[in-house]
Each structure stands twice: as structure tokens, then as C-alpha cells.
Amino acid sequence: MSHRAVFLDRDDTLVVDSGYIDHPDRVVLMSGAREAVQRFRRAGFKVVVASNQSGVARGYFDEKRLALINQRVRDLLAADGEGLDAIYCCPFLDGPDAKVDAYRRDSDLRKPRPGMLLKAAREMDLDLTRSWMIGDALRDIEAGVAAGCRTILIEGNGSDTSNAEPQPTHRTRSILEAVMIVERESASESEAERTRSKSAPPEDIKLLTEIRDILDRQQRETMHDDFSIKRLIGTLVQMLALVSAGWGAYAMFGDDAGAAVTRFALAGFLQLVVVSLTLADRRG
């Protein structure tokens, strides 16, 4: 089964945004970020960062430096060696602010588009409909909604987003509040799943029950067919026995004793056949 994931924005969600972080030493975690990552992991989610890093296209730092910065983020968020499952970044930017030609482009990876989430889902076998996107900006929410995830907007910068489209599934003031929402909803989903699996028999049991019902039905139909054929034969033989007896009586009244004995014997024999058929029918 595909994994559930929590996608997290990086700057101002996990890491204090001090403006185009260009060195590992400038990485400072937001309050509660480390605890949040650990609790998402414990709740059974893959934890994936999806971050626009247009600083690469703007020429503030290169991808090698970005990798070092992200490694610092990973190290600070990890506990017992366990932390983020993956970091996806979009280094591209379209327009004149992109000073590095190689990175000047319109990219589906850049939020508010859902490219990074879709790519992660393909590469990590994630079920987006059971996943979350959490971030501090409306473009995070837009990307999450476009990918089919539930979303949480961490409001902190004071801007009014009440009329924004699309609306987030939830709004919070901190990442730990977001953790509580995800934990609460995944607990009630697990409970619903448990109830469903208790009330409904597993698929293989259902299949066996269906096969048994079909076999029972076929057996009953076969028995019914046998019974009808035996009864039909029995009735015919019974009629022949009666005809033979009548024919014997006719011979007797006609003083043909030899023919009468033969015909009565035939009638007796046929009657024995009828009795045998009846007994066989009852045993079957």
C-alpha cells in the first residue's frame, strides 16, 4: 500500500526565513520544528520537504551550496538518525530576476504548482489523497490542493488570507498545532478503518463463502434433477405394471392361464422395479 506523507514547506515553516539562506551556518530551526517532524514520523507519515529555492536562479548560491544547507536542515531535525525522508527543491525562476540562464524557466516544480509533490509521490510511492501539505504561504496551500492533499496554513505574518482561493483545510498559529490536527485526524481515520475491517469480512473469506454458496446451490439443483428423473421413470414403470396386471386379468378371464401367469409375473417384476426406485430415491 502507498505511504501517507506530510509535505512541509522549508522557510518560515521549519527554518527561520532570514532571506535567501545561502550558508549552512544560517540555518536556525523554527520553534517546535524538530518535535513536529518526529511526531509526524511516529504517526506513520513520510516527512518530505517541498521548497522553492529561487536563490539558485537568482545567482545567490548554487545547487552544491543548497545541498549543504539542506543537509544542515536534515541534521538539525533528526533524532537518533531519523528525520526527513526527502527534500525536494525547485531552483528555477522565470523572468528577469533569474540571473543564471540555466535556471531561468517556467517550471511545474515551482509552488504554487504541485510538481514537487507529484514527483515525490511517483518516486516514493505516496498516496496524495491521504497526505498533507503544510506551509506558511498561500502558494503552499495551492500546491497541496492541486496535488489532492489536505492542507494546513500556518498563519504568522499577519496578512489577511480569509478570502484567498483555494482555502486551506485548516489554519493554525504554529507547526505543533498542525501536528495535533494531523494526529487527531489520522487517529480517527485509523479507528474508522478498524471498525470497517471488523464489520466486513476480509476479501478472501467473502470469496470462499461465495464459492461455498454456489456449490451448495449446484448440489441442491443436481439432487432435484435426479429426484425428478427417478420419479418420472418410477411413474412410467408403475403404469406399465398396472397395464401388465390388467392385461393378465384379461387373459385370465379369457381362460388363457399360461398368458395370464406370464403377464402377472411381468406386472410383479415391474412393481419390484418401482419399489426399488422409490427406496433408492429416499436414500439419495
Does 11 qualify as catalytic in the annotation?
yes
Interface segment toward Mg ion; rule CB under 5 A; list 2-10, 26-34, 209-217, 249-257: 2-10
Separation between Cα atoms, residue 190 and residue 13, nearest integer Å:
27
- Residues binding Mg ion: number (CB under 5 A): 5
CB atoms within 10 A of CB 70: 22
C-beta of 86 vs 154, nearer to Mg ion = 154
How far, CA to CA in Å, does 104 sit from each of 57, 59, 64? Answer: 6, 11, 18
How far, CA to CA in Å, does 199 sit from each of 188, 204, 210? Answer: 17, 15, 17
C-beta of 17 vs 127, nearer to Mg ion = 17
- Shortest distance, position 12 Cβ to Mg ion, whole Å: 4
C-beta of 111 vs 263, nearer to Mg ion = 111
Q: Does 142 bind Mg ion (CB under 5 A)?
A: no
- Shortest distance, position 77 Cβ to Mg ion, whole Å: 16
Separation between Cα atoms, residue 60 and residue 93, nearest integer Å:
13
C-beta of 49 vs 98, nearer to Mg ion = 49
Separation between Cα atoms, residue 143 and residue 139, nearest integer Å:
6
Site for Mg ion, residues 143 to 202, rule: CB under 5 A: none
Does 9 qualify as catalytic in the annotation?
yes
C-beta of 9 vs 85, nearer to Mg ion = 9
- Shortest distance, position 140 Cβ to Mg ion, whole Å: 7
Q: Which of 9, 85, 136, 140 is catalytic?
A: 9
Helix H or strand E encompassing 266: helix 257-283
- Shortest distance, position 86 Cβ to Mg ion, whole Å: 18
- Shortest distance, position 205 Cβ to Mg ion, whole Å: 49
Site for Mg ion, residues 8 to 27, rule: CB under 5 A: 9, 11-12
How far, CA to CA in Å, does 255 sit from each of 58, 70, 249, 259? Answer: 130, 122, 10, 9
Query: Contact with Mg ion (CB under 5 A): which of 98, 118, 120, 136?
Result: 136
- Cell numbers for 166: 483555494
Separation between Cα atoms, residue 7 and residue 47, nearest integer Å:
6
Q: Which of 11, 85, 136, 140 is catalytic?
A: 11
- Cell numbers for 56: 539558485
Binding stretches for Mg ion (CB under 5 A): 9, 11-12, 136-137
